[in-house]
Amino acid sequence: MGFQADLEKLLGLKNISYKYNLSKEELFHEAIKNDKGRVKKDGPSNAQKAYPTKLGAKGPLVFYTDPECTGRRTKDTYAVAWPEVKDQLWFKADLNPYDPEKYQGLLKRVVEHLNSKKATLYVKDVFMGSDPDFAVPYRFVGEYASHAMFAHNMFPKNLEVKDADARRWTMLNVPSFFCEPARDGCRAEAAIVLDVKNKICLVAGRADYCGVVKKSIFTIGNFLLPLDGRLSMHCSANVGAKGDAAILFGLSGTGKTTLSADASRRLIGDDETIWSDNGLCNLEDGCYAKLINLDKDAEPVIAQALSKPGTIIENVPPLPGKRMEDCHPDELDLNDASIAENTRFSYPLDANPNVMPNGQGPHPQTIVLLTADAFGVLPPISILEPKDVMYHFVSGFTARVAGTEVGITEPTPTFSACFGGPFMAHKPNVYAKLLADKMSHHKARCVLLNTGWSGDPSKGAKRMSIKLTRTLLNAALNGELDGVATETHPILNLKMPKSCPGVADPAMLNPKNAWADKTAYDAQAIKLRDMFRQNFKNKGFAAFGIEERI
């Protein structure tokens, strides 16, 4: 078979048994039978990793990650600092430089490890991007059938693209290998290493969180696509009945997935989208949704997909006193965080009945920057000028209440450049300039939509209702805020509309009106303003040509 020769030439793999492009049902049974590893901190390294539910093959696969990898290992994610590419890469805390010589030694040892054990590897050929004009061939090669099944769920398949073999990226995913930091040049016993020069993504060690399979290649897309003037974005996107497309940027917990799932609009994708000269297209063919504390009534699409065959539930425990094999997926306690706060669910995009054909759509008319402000000071909605867009885009702000215990209300800020800083392989100005240029060319509007808290957090302020948020969002999408009278926030320099269709009390559009103590509001707003300024200074955005707006 041709792929075997390719893998021997690229990686040096020999004496390997391959299971190539198995169906999802075949991978389901393979995962339950063969995926072995650690699932408890003090547990054995050969424990069962994947289980069926009561529905068997007619239901989801339940997969358990290593307890040290219930999310991405950001400190253990690297890019090889080859001399010819290192100046193009944005090295930072969650994308560290890897010494080329150390990397070559590590890759050789991983391959020798597989060859010596005569490993069985699962291979799945998919694509990054649904537009054949520029979709990147992506070959997953790994020890776990669960990961191959995840790749099948999450990425487009069976596209006809030019020069597929020459352009293909390969992930070698080997949880059974353990890195030695002193020898291998990494920080821990696991490393995720992106090799831009040779089109390889190496995952060595206990880094078996399914999100690694998609976020690593997304980081690669964020390097490749902007080189050709295509903007890769961490955002959701949908299209209205009039063919009006919108993109929604936002960090986890801001409502990116929830707000894009609108019965009156067709979904392009909920997480990773590309804006090219052809319009918008989904990087993926699936969704990877958070399950913790899921409200099944508010998220009916996800709730219905829980019981569908071929989907993957990650790190949700069985019901107390029961084996997972005896649990119906609809009965699982989605509030149970005893294994991980970051419980997840992978399902095909077509589980949503209202999607755009081939995950593609027109150029967007509306750009939405989502934030969930727990300080209680940002306006519910702000209208952004082009320079504001670039500033708030590279800032990537959101904030959460620090804890759930009574009395703990001090907000915790997060700034993530381009609303996906860890995955941005270029410096943020590259993406900001592409966004500004495309918005200008296609005359797109932009708003900053706050899905967070209204009022004084120390006085029990509540989060803004989804009903209000949707009212504000719909007004923006319909162009009903274009040209509306505004007032400028005196501290945060944001343009706040004085009225909005569907909002009975326009006074609530100014966040200060939600505070009984106006002096306390000003103090909180100044505190947040200073955080923005400090982040701008710390990240060195001025040197990238970004204008400070707060």
Is residue 234 part of the annotated active site? The answer reads yes
- Ordered alpha helix ranges (H), 93-210: 100-116, 145-154, 164-167, 181-184
Is residue 409 part of the annotated active site? The answer reads no
In this structure, what are the phi and psi dihedrals at residue 22, rounded to the nearest 5 degrees? -65, 155
> Active-site residue among 215, 266, 489, 495?
215
Closest Cα to residue 9, out of 199, 159, 289?
199
Is residue 215 part of the annotated active site? The answer reads yes
Residue keyed to tokens 């339950």: 32
CB atoms within 10 A of CB 13: 20
Range 243-259 burial, b when 16+ CB lie within 10 A, else e: ebbbbbbbbeebbbbbb
Q: How far is 150 from 95, CA to CA, in rounded Å?
A: 23
Amino acid, single-letter form, for residue 508 = M
Q: How far is 123 from 10, CA to CA, in rounded Å?
A: 15
DSSP 3-state assignment of 382?
strand
> Active-site residue among 53, 170, 254, 257?
257
Tokens of 270: 């909920």
Radius of gyration of the chain (CA): 23
Residue keyed to tokens 């703990």: 408
Q: Which helix (H) or strand (E) holds 481?
A: none
> Active-site residue among 76, 94, 184, 271?
271
Q: How many CA atoms lie within 13 A of 545 on its CB side?
A: 8
| Cβ contact 120:235 at 8 Å | no
Torsion of CA 3, 9, 14, 19, to 10 degrees: -20
| Cβ contact 267:354 at 8 Å | yes
CB atoms within 10 A of CB 519: 8
What is the CA angle 283-121-208, rounded to 5?
A: 60
Is residue 463 part of the annotated active site? The answer reads no
Is residue 9 part of the annotated active site? The answer reads no
> Active-site residue among 73, 214, 234, 266?
234
Q: How far is 271 from 155, CA to CA, in rounded Å?
A: 12
DSSP 3-state assignment of 440?
helix
DSSP state of 507: G
CA–CA distance from 538 to each of 182, 256, 542 (Å)? 31, 27, 10
In this structure, what are the phi and psi dihedrals at residue 114, rounded to the nearest 5 degrees? -70, -40
Is residue 512 part of the annotated active site? The answer reads no
Is residue 73 part of the annotated active site? The answer reads no
> Active-site residue among 35, 38, 66, 72?
72
Q: How far is 341 from 336, CA to CA, in rounded Å?
A: 8
Is residue 257 part of the annotated active site? The answer reads yes
> Active-site residue among 139, 230, 256, 426?
256
Q: How far is 218 from 128, CA to CA, in rounded Å?
A: 8
> Active-site residue among 38, 168, 199, 344?
344
DSSP 3-state assignment of 119?
coil
Catalytic residue IDs: 72, 215, 234, 252, 256-257, 271, 344
